[in-house]
Amino acid sequence: MTEDPTAFPRQTPSGPTAGTTGRWGPATRPGGARAGEHTARRADEHTAQWYDDAAGPVVRPYTMTRGRTKPPAEERLDLIALVIAEEFLLAHPGGAYAIADRTLSPEHLDIADLARREPHSIAELAATLDLPVGVVRVLVGDLIDAGYVRISRPVPPAELPDAGILREVIDGLRAL
């Protein structure tokens, strides 16, 4: 079995030939690096991989919602609820990004702009903007309260008729 170079470094038992006084001596990796050196190098590589200049700053979801986990709107915002721009937003010449409301974050404006183009469900907005669904619900609730968007739910399918009604229909058809 080959040793994985990206695995955590291991320490091997040291014997009298290892020249160490402890029970476990430092292990060396295939590249000649000692365990501690390899770990430090891996931590630097991991940091550089995730926090480079091209990725930009990392923003936690709770900062986008100001710590809120539930939308302020009274309406239930489920995954299939359609977000539709209000007439004011549709008629605004500059679109969502020209709104002078300083309380709206860039994510609010992205949602409003997408809703201005065409209605989107909560799930579609979350997928398009690569945001958690809970965050999108809170942001859409803010936009509803501000009067920029409204929610429309698809018409639920008609309920199935009662079994008694179906029997009467069948009996009526047989009588013909």
One digit per residue, the tens of pLDDT, for the chain of length 176 reads 455 444 434 444 444 444 444 444 444 444 555 544 444 444 444 444 445 556 555 566 666 666 666 667 667 788 888 999 888 778 777 777 777 777 788 888 899 999 999 999 999 999 998 888 888 988 898 889 888 899 987 766 666 667 888 889 899 889 88
36 and 96 both lie in a single domain: no
Residues 76 and 40 in one domain: no
pLDDT score recorded for residue 83: 92
**Predicted pLDDT at 150:** 92
Whether residues 107 and 147 fall in one domain: yes
- Spatial contact of 125 and 141, defined as CB atoms under 8 Å apart: no
In a domain, 7, yes or no: no
User: Tokens 């390899």, residue?
Assistant: 38
- What's the CA gap between 65 and 122, in Å, rounded? 16
Range of the domain at 86: 66-152
- Model pLDDT, residue 65: 63
Same structural domain, 48 and 118: no
* Residue at 159 is within a domain: no
Q: Tell me how many domains the chain contains.
A: 2
Q: Are residues 144 and 83 in the same domain?
A: yes
- What per-residue confidence (pLDDT) applies to 78? 83
pTM above 0.95, yes or no: no
Are 33 and 86 in the same domain? no
Could you write out the DSSP letters of every residue in the chain?
A: -PPPTTSPP--EE--TTTT-SSSEEPPB-TTS-BHHHHHHHHHHHHHHHHS-TTT-----HHHHTTT--S-SSSS---TTPEEEE-HHHHH-TT-GGG---TT--HHHHHHHHHHHHS-EEHHHHHHHHT--HHHHHHHHHHHHHHTSEEEEPPPPPPPPPPHHHHHHHHHHHHH-
Judge whether 80 lies within some domain. yes
Residue 73 lies in a domain: yes
* Same domain for 84 and 30: no
Task: For residue 129, tell me if it sits in a domain.
Answer: yes
Q: Would you state the pLDDT for residue 124?
A: 94
Cα gap 44→163, rounded to integer Å: 68
Tell whether 48 and 121 lie within a shared domain: no
Same domain, 42 and 93: no
The answer on 140 and 73 residing in a single domain is yes
One domain for residues 98 and 131: yes
On whether both 70 and 140 belong to a single domain, the answer is yes
Residue 95 covered by a domain? yes
Residue 110 within a domain: yes
Helix/strand/coil (H, E, C) string of 124-144?
Answer: HHHHHHCCCHHHHHHHHHHHH
